[in-house]
Amino acid sequence: MADAIVLVSGGAAVTPFTGPDHAAGSGLAAGNTLTALRAHLLGRDIPVFTAPARLGAGEVHEDTGWQGFADVPIVLPAEVTVNAVGGIDAGGTSLAAFLRWLSDEHGFASVDLVAHSMGGLFSRAAIRELRGSGPSIGRLVTLGTPWEGSLLGDVLTGEVSVHDAHGDEGTTTILERSSGYAAENSQGAADEVSRRFLREWNTTQAGFLDGVAVTAIGAGHFHTAAEPRQLWPHDGLVALRSARADDVPVDVLPRVVRRSFEDDVHSIFFADAFDLPWERALTWDHEVFAVVDEALAS
C-alpha cells in the first residue's frame, strides 16, 4: 500500500481538506460525498486525506449547502484547491499541486487515489501532470466516474434526450432538469463530461496510466430499458458502461478491474431524492468499501 490514500470528490462537490487527525468540526466531517468512506478507511488505520474542493476558485472554509459542514481547522490556499465546477485539466492541475504539497509536507513518496465521479477525471489529469514531479501514483480507484460521459453532458450535446427515458419517471426527471442544473452550476465541467468530449480527450491520454492499477466501479440502479447503451443502466448521473470504462481503449487504460453494483445510485443526493437509504450510494455503501479495500491491498 502507498504511504497515504487521498480521496477526491467530484463535480459540484464541496470538500474540506482533512487528514487522519483533523476534519470539519461540525456537519459532515469530510463533506457529503466522502465522509463515510473516509471514516471507513480511518477505522482500518489507513492514513487518509481528502483533497479540498469548492464551487469556483478560492479556499474551502465551509459548505452552507445541503448536508454541508463548517469549522474547518486547516484551510489550504486556492491554488491547491480543485474548482469542482471547472474543467478537467484545470482541476487536474490544482489536484496535482495539492498532491505535491502533501508529499512535501508529510514526506510521502507514493499516494493512492480513490475518486468519486468527476474526481476520477481530475485524478487522471493530475496523474498526467505529476509525471516526474511529485509522489508516484500506484493505484486509482474510481467510483461512478464518467470515463466516457454522463447523462448531464450527453443531454447538453443532444446525444441523449427525454425520449431515451422510455417513460421511466426518475430518469425523465433527471434528464429534464439536466440543462437547467448545468446552466446554474457549471463553469465548464458540464461541457466536459459528455461522451463526445471525453472520447476525444481520451485519445490524448494514452500512456499516462501505464503502471497505474485502476479499479473502475459503477452502479446501475435505474435499469428500465436496454437502449441506448450509453444510458442504460445508470446510477442517476453516469451509465454503468461509462463508470466501468468498458469502452475505453487499452492504450489509455491498460490495467483495469471492473466492478458493478446494480442496486446503487451515484451519490446521497440521488439516494435522498429517490427515497433510498444513503447506504445505496456508491461512497456510502459498505459493500463498495470492501471492493475499495481489495483494490488498495492488491
Q: Give the domain extent around 123.
A: 4-297
283 has a pLDDT exceeding 80: yes
pLDDT tens per residue across span 203-251 = 999 999 999 999 999 999 999 999 999 999 999 999 999 999 999 999 9
Please give the pLDDT value at position 55: 95
Count of beta carbons in the 10 Å neighbourhood of residue 244: 24
Task: Enter the pTM of the model.
Answer: 0.98
Domain of 30: which CATH number?
A: 3.40.50.1820
* 183 band by pLDDT with thresholds 50, 70 and 90: confident
pLDDT tens per residue across span 251-279 = 999 999 999 999 999 999 999 999 999 99
Residue 123 sits at φ, ψ, to 5 deg, of -65, -40
- And the C-alpha cell for 168? 421511466
- Closest by CA position to 42, among listed 7, 78, 13: 7
1 has a pLDDT exceeding 80: no
pLDDT tens per residue across span 77-126 = 999 999 999 999 999 999 999 999 999 999 999 999 999 999 999 999 99
CB 289 within 8 A of CB 281: no
**Could you tell me which residues come within 8 angstroms of residue 160 by beta carbon, excluding any fewer than 6 positions away?**
151, 154, 175, 228, 230, 231
Q: What string of DSSP letters covers 189-204?
A: TGGGSSHHHHHHHHHT
Please give the pLDDT value at position 214: 98
- The CA distance from 258 to 19, in Å, is 29
CB 67 within 8 A of CB 28: yes
Q: For the chain, how big is the Rg over CA atoms in Å?
A: 17
Please give the pLDDT value at position 250: 97
- The CA distance from 63 to 51, in Å, is 15
Degrees, nearest 5: CA angle 286-273-26: 65
Average pLDDT value for residue range 130-136: 91
Please give the pLDDT value at position 230: 95
- The CA distance from 145 to 116, in Å, is 6
- And the C-alpha cell for 20? 487522519
Count of beta carbons in the 10 Å neighbourhood of residue 232: 21
- The CA distance from 142 to 32, in Å, is 17
Q: What 3-state DSSP class applies to 109?
A: coil
Q: What's the length of the chain?
A: 298
Please give the pLDDT value at position 184: 82
287 has a pLDDT exceeding 90: yes
- As a three-state string, the secondary structure of 76-99 is CCHHHCEECCCCHHHHHHHHHHHH
Q: Whole-number mean pLDDT of the chain? A: 96
Number of domains in the chain: 1
